[in-house]
Amino acid sequence: MSVPGSFTPQIDDDALRLVAKARILFADTDKMGIVYHASYFRYLELARVELIRSVGPPYSALETEGLALPLVEVGVHFSRPGLYDDHISLYCGLSRLSRVRVHFQYRVVVERGDRHGADERVELLQAETRHACVDRVTGKPQRLPQSLFDRMSAVRGA
């Protein structure tokens, strides 16, 4: 048996921004009546593309330069269940930036007033996704374009 460390990422709340809100659909739920855990990963994608868009050209611009940012590692801690029709708030920021790596951190939250019949803020999860910059065709590691690196650095310092 492995003696595992924690997969719960340490979140730096000062680095987070509200980047998008979204509505939980039937499509996201499972028969436990709550959000199926895998449904959150598309919301995390939405969060990081909106973070990138907020500082400059969209992620697709990276692709036109022949680059990609595939996911290498992910850690998630699920705190409380999300419910149907929750209006969730997606917070996202950088947790690390180097010439060849970009790490994003996240909180997904139901703010006070955004869950029917509830009157409190509910934390759903915290997560971190770690991406490498690679050549789209060969998959070989590449350096982030200087312009994206500079824009991302601004996010980090914000």
Query: Would you tell me which residues interact with a copy of itself (CB under 8 A)?
Result: 1-12, 15, 23, 25-27, 29-34, 36-38, 41-42, 45-46, 49-50, 58-60, 68, 70-78, 81, 84-85, 94-96, 103, 105, 116, 128, 130, 136, 139, 156
108 or 130: CB nearest a copy of itself:
130
Nearest approach in angstroms of CB 21 to a copy of itself is 12
CB 110 → a copy of itself: shortest distance, Å?
14
The one-letter amino acid at 85: D
Which CB atom, from 25 or from 100, has the smaller least distance to a copy of itself? 25
- 130: closest CA among 96, 103, 152? 103
Smallest distance, a copy of itself to C-beta of residue 49, A = 7
Q: Tell which residue, 153, 157, 151, 102, has the closest CA to residue 129.
A: 102
Q: Kindly tell me which of 55 and 68 has the beta carbon lying closer to a copy of itself.
A: 68
Nearest-approach distance from CB 51 to a copy of itself, in angstroms: 13
Q: What is the secondary structure of 34-79 as a DSSP string?
A: BB-GGGHHHHHHHHHHHHHHHHSS-HHHHHHTTEE--EEEEEEEE-
SS3 147: helix
Q: Distance (Å, rounded) from C-alpha 29 to C-alpha 122?
A: 17
